[in-house]
Homo-oligomer: A and B are copies of this chain.
């Protein structure tokens, strides 16, 4: 239902983003996510710029930890594509099977305690405000 736009068929505006993805990531491969977003060039541009800055720019959180946070969100939302692509990205940045297990254990636990807090309608402690 969604046309994936290849480099050869892309407009100059789209190609400029594809070129920047290639340069930044040092790979020829453009993954399907970007080829889908290319159907609406302003969304492609904005999303890439934000992702490049947030996931790859200067910051106190190291690159692997950023991926762990990203995966935690994607697992909670059940976004299959995002889990698959960012688990691959995290592995390229050093994710071991053990750390993956620890990550998912934290995500599972938080999803569980979130509901206990909701279900028991726990009032926020004064000192946490």
Could you tell me which A residues sit within 8 Å of B by CB distance? 1-2, 4, 29, 31-33, 36-37, 39-40, 42-43, 46-47, 50-51, 53-55, 59-61, 65-66, 68-85, 87-88, 96-125, 127-129
CB distance from A89 to the nearest CB of B (A): 9
CB distance from A83 to the nearest CB of B (A): 6
CB distance A117 to B33 under 8 Å?
A: yes
Q: How many copies does the complex hold?
A: 6
- Among B50, B65, B75, B123, point to the contact of A109 (Cβ < 8 A): B50
CB distance A121 to B71 under 8 Å?
A: no
A54 CA / B122 CA spacing, docked (Å): 22
CB distance A111 to B101 under 8 Å?
A: no
CB distance from A26 to the nearest CB of B (A): 16
A46 CA / B72 CA spacing, docked (Å): 19
CB distance B37 to A116 under 8 Å?
A: yes
Could you list 11 examples of A-B contacts with CB < 8 Å? A31-B125, A33-B122, A46-B50, A50-B112, A55-B109, A61-B99, A81-B118, A85-B125, A103-B119, A108-B119, A111-B112
A40 CA / B127 CA spacing, docked (Å): 23
